[in-house]
Structure 1
Amino acid sequence: MGVPRMQTCRLLTILWCLLMLTEAQVTDSLPKRLMSTAFFPLRHPQVGRTDWLAARDFSERYLRALGLNVTRQVFSTTVLFDQDIAQLVEGVNLLAVVPGRHWDSDAEDDILVVGAHYDTDVTNMGVRPGSGMVALLELGRHIQERRTTGLQLDHTVILAALDLMTSEHSWGKAGDSGAEVFLRGYLNPLLTSRPSRRFRGAIMLDSVFNFNASVGSQVYPGGFAETFPDVEQTGRGDFLGVVSRPASDAALLEALKAVWPAGAGRLQPLSLPQQPPDTEALFQFLSQGHDAFWNRAAGGVVSSLPAVLLTDTGRYRQLPRRCLSVDTICGPREMLTPERMRFFNQTVKALTDAVLTMQGSSSSSAVMGSWLLLLTGLLASCVSH
């Protein structure tokens, strides 16, 4: 091997190492930083109001910084701060459109929605649903990176950062949640304004970071076996659940299964029977936004749209043991362990790949990934000579 060729190969080796390091740092550090700061505290209009508003402002600025057009859907709804205390609260859904090639034409355009909520319950550790919001922002970042390399989406993707999705809405006396407002005031008019627009489905993100493979780390709400009869109860929290219906949501579930990578965590379908029993488990897994799509009201008619929920089961999966004490408030270091961040990154990768595969696009061609592939090939030629 001549001197110039040796120098070239050394340079390629340095570049390859730098790109590998940069990609690893971006993949690991950015989501962890977001979950440690903007999306870690309680974010509720009564408890944690300042952090709730700060999370809204941060999410909007982040989406706009990605180059996305963001619509602020402002609405007012009743939130129950207690069983007997109701208050009218102003919420804001942040809706970022990643336009497909036919967004502005009369040609057929399939619309896919990916949504998460940036608020929390009064008592919920913020990072639980916060991980869903960070996954949504990461999805936007990955898609935009690919678009900068010339990727043209065949169909439109809407990233919906929803507000006022707290469990207080499930008490029966509260007003519409952010998901219901999004459907009624944004999605329904969007779909009916142009017959060529079709709805592909919605992927809603709950907590998606908590991996715990210890025996006994996974508990189950009452009636779980009757509600999800095909699921084996192993007692280990080593999976990401996909709540779906057997026929209506099959395409979304299969898209996720097709790209789920091998790793520590597994993808566990939580498929409801045709007529699910009225159980605590059904109630717990029907209050995360996807149920608004299942019971869509438009023009006085209730219909159903395909939607699935991605969840680590939230409060039914144990956190680190020391965080279970009422006297201990765990910080990001205890919560966001390397194992949990690997699980989170695995989830984001599968989500990104599923969204792009449903577009008919190549699923694994990130900006730096393309350069790494090229440099790896060049380095291989160096070694062969």
Structure 2
Amino acid sequence: MVTSVFLHYVFNFLFSLHCVKSADTKYMETSIRNYFSNTRHHDPEYQEYKYAAKEYIHGEFLRHGLTTEYHTFQEQSVSNTENFQSVIGIAKGTNFGKANDLIIGLGAHYDTVKETKGVDDNGAGVAAMLEVVRQLTDRNRNGVKRKNTMIFVAFDLKEYGSCFGTSDCKLPDVQLAGSRHFLKEWLLPWLLSNYGKAVPAVIHGVIILDTVMNYNTSARSQTIPDAFRTAFPETYASVDSDNFQGDFLNLIYRKPTNDTYLAAEFLSSGRDLGKPKYEIESLPLNFVKFSEIPSSDEKNILINFMRSDHGNFWEIDLPAIWLTDSADFRGDMIQCYHQECDNLQVM
């Protein structure tokens, strides 16, 4: 499972370059097979499996010692009566509640569209997040304490209204509801309660994991839209020089913002690992808020960079980076993104 190799970048970054152990691929594979290999949609016929996945995440957060809670919210455009739930786990650092705390968030959505089993999208992201939690706990038990607090969130209702993969996808159709409600209803009250006036200073950044398992060393397995060649000439040249192999993780961030510090730290951690076989390709975007881009043509090009929960953090100008295998631009997922064949066969 190549996700485990890419996770070393995340571990090295989050754990401040202490010795990082190999990822427990057995744990991740078992999590995916048992809880993230079938449809997790809000329609009634899928709710039993989705509920089991949510409860598993909650139980794992608790088992690994996180302060754990549900964030319950309603989305009126989906249902006037049904509640939805994201799962939140907090690993308090020694700086918790102080102005010098630098909070890092790690998030991954656990729901799916109803047409898919959702193994890569996004069982892989949730399993990766849980492995980070497991390693964090293991390090704490061995006396390695973090100074800074970490917040882990498994978002519900990310896929509601998602139109990606269609030719006429527009941002208003992509609701990303769970992270939107998390930011509006949970995060600020929690910060004010625990940090008071220090709130603006304590958010260091957020990492979103969404479709991170697909690794393909076949030539021409990676597709790149023509418009990207002009927008990201260095990245395009790098992928081209490798015969368009899908053997890299995409690092997506906004260049004019504090995302750049988060991205630079992540890249530095990756270089320190000394594993050049597993590449990171940077895709720096030249905007602050997607909603403020005046050109509809530019928005249509950039919509592919807004397809996960980082987009809601960007809209309120919180630093965030998105790590992804590029989803429907690579290998089997070109046909299987949001389709039945995103199943255990893609592992």
Q: Would you say the 8 A contact 2:117–2:343 is kept in 1?
A: no
Which piece of structure 1 moves more, 31-40 or 172-181?
Answer: 172-181
Matched, 1:244 2:253: yes
The structural deviation recorded for 1:287 is 2.4
The structural deviation recorded for 1:168 is 1.2
Tell me the residue number matched to 1:166.
Answer: 159
Deviations 1:181-222 (A, max 9, x none): 111112222334412341101001111110011122112346
The structural deviation recorded for 1:150 is 1.5
Helix, strand or coil at the partner of 1:77 = coil
Q: Would you say the 8 A contact 1:169–1:177 is kept in 2?
A: no
Matched, 1:211 2:215: yes
Task: Map 1:69-88 to 2 at 5 A.
Answer: 69-78=67-76
Which piece of structure 1 moves more, 200-209 or 256-265?
Answer: 256-265
Q: 1:226 to 1:109 in 2, by over 3 A?
A: same
Q: Among residues 331, 335, 338, which one is paired with 2:346 in the alignment?
A: 335
Helix, strand or coil at the partner of 1:283 = helix
Matched, 1:110 2:102: yes
Tell me the residue number matched to 2:17.
Answer: none
Q: Among residues 51, 54, 75, which one is paired with 1:53 in the alignment?
A: 51
The structural deviation recorded for 1:100 is 1.3
Deviations 1:6-50 (A, max 9, x none): xxxxxxxxxxxxxxxxx87x7221111112221111211126322
Q: 1:329 to 1:183 in 2, by over 3 A?
A: closer
The structural deviation recorded for 1:77 is 0.8
Structure 2 distance, partners of 1:330, 1:166, is 15
Matched, 1:122 2:131: no
Tell me the residue number matched to 2:306.
Answer: 286
Structure 1 distance, partners of 2:176, 2:250, is 26
Q: Would you say the 8 A contact 1:91–1:164 is kept in 2?
A: yes
The structural deviation recorded for 1:331 is 5.3
Q: 1:218 to 1:93 in 2, by over 3 A?
A: same
Q: Would you say the 8 A contact 2:102–2:203 is kept in 1?
A: yes
Tell me the residue number matched to 2:232.
Answer: 228
Q: Would you say the 8 A contact 1:118–1:162 is kept in 2?
A: yes
Q: 1:263 to 1:43 in 2, by over 3 A?
A: farther
Helix, strand or coil at the partner of 1:293 = helix
> What is the percent sequence identity of the aligned residues?
25
Structure 2 distance, partners of 1:40, 1:258, is 33
Tell me the residue number matched to 1:65.
Answer: 63
| Letter aligned with residue 99 of structure 1 | K
The gaps in structure 1 that reach 5 residues or longer are 1-22, 81-85, 297-303, 337-385
Tell me the residue number matched to 2:29.
Answer: 32
Structure 2 distance, partners of 1:210, 1:273, is 27
The gaps in structure 2 that reach 5 residues or longer are 1-20, 164-169
Q: Would you say the 8 A contact 1:227–1:282 is kept in 2?
A: no
Q: 1:63 to 1:310 in 2, by over 3 A?
A: same
| Letter aligned with residue 53 of structure 2 | A
Q: 1:208 to 1:329 in 2, by over 3 A?
A: closer
Structure 1 distance, partners of 2:222, 2:279, is 14
Structure 2 distance, partners of 1:136, 1:161, is 9
Structure 1 distance, partners of 2:302, 2:158, is 17
Which piece of structure 1 moves more, 241-250 or 257-266?
Answer: 257-266
| Letter aligned with residue 159 of structure 2 | T
Q: Would you say the 8 A contact 2:108–2:153 is kept in 1?
A: yes
Q: Would you say the 8 A contact 1:240–1:310 is kept in 2?
A: yes
| Letter aligned with residue 119 of structure 1 | D
TM-score by structure 2 length? 0.77
Tell me the residue number matched to 1:99.
Answer: 92
Task: Map 1:234-313 to 2 at 5 A.
Answer: 234=240, 235-248=244-257, 249-260=259-270, 261=273, 262-274=275-287, 278-296=298-316, 304-313=317-326
Provide the aligned length of Structure 1 versus Structure 2: 298
Q: 1:281 to 1:314 in 2, by over 3 A?
A: farther
Structure whose CA Rg is larger? 1
Which piece of structure 1 moves more, 139-148 or 261-270?
Answer: 261-270
Structure 2 distance, partners of 1:60, 1:126, is 19
Tell me the residue number matched to 2:124.
Answer: 131
